[in-house]
Amino acid sequence: MLDTHFYFGAKRVSLALEPDLLWSIVHFLQSMGAQIHAAVTTTRSHLLEKLPVKNVTIGDLEDFESLADGSDLLIGNSNVGAIAKRLSIPLYRLGLPIYDRLGNGQFTKVGYRGTMELVYGMGNLFLEAEEARVKQLQELGIVGAEF
């Protein structure tokens, strides 16, 4: 986590997850220095009362799309994929269903190994987005655009 927190700091993340998973991932992201831009879940839960975010929306993917604009990363299941494409924001697939990736059921989601996979997966998405941004600036001829 120490090596990757530079990629998480001040990043705006929007999440569309079930209440229990939302609770866990929000705490994880905040511990890594990320900011919660939007949090959308499907149903009320006592967990949401203690969630350290400004607003939690009980809603659907239409609500999520309108709230997530301006994020650096989206987190949700495969149904969020179309939103990620429309908004041009990277998606970290988490939750159920995940039907557009092979082997998802084989990945460890808990414990030390699960945390490593989570950190590296999200961190690599941040890294790829930064590389793409720098490349775009270089193509525009902006001097000093480097990674």
Residue spans of the domains in the chain: they are 5-139
Q: What distance in Å separates the CA atoms of residue 87 and residue 22, rounded to the nearest whole number?
A: 21
pLDDT value at 139 more than 90: no
pLDDT of residue 138: 86
**Mean pLDDT, range 136-144, rounded to an integer:** 82
**Mean pLDDT, range 112-139, rounded to an integer:** 92
Question: What DSSP state is assigned to residue 106?
Answer: G
Q: What distance in Å separates the CA atoms of residue 63 and residue 50, rounded to the nearest whole number?
A: 22
Q: Band the pLDDT of 114: cuts 50, 70, 90.
A: very high
Nearest to 122 by CA among 34, 36, 23, 56: 34
**Omega of the bond prior to 97 within 30 degrees of 0, cis?**
yes
Q: How does 125-142 read in b/e, with b if 16+ C-beta sit within 10 Å? A: bbeebeeeeeeeeeeeee
> pTM above the 0.85 mark?
yes
Over residues 47-93, the pLDDT tens digits come to 999 999 999 999 999 999 999 999 999 999 999 999 999 999 999 99
pLDDT of residue 147: 53
Residue 117 burial (CB count, 10 A)? 13
The letter for the amino acid at 51 is: L
According to CATH, the topology of domain 5-139 is: Rossmann fold (3.40.50)
Q: How does 61-76 read in b/e, with b if 16+ C-beta sit within 10 Å? A: beebbebbeebbbbbb
Q: What distance in Å separates the CA atoms of residue 136 and residue 146, rounded to the nearest whole number?
A: 11
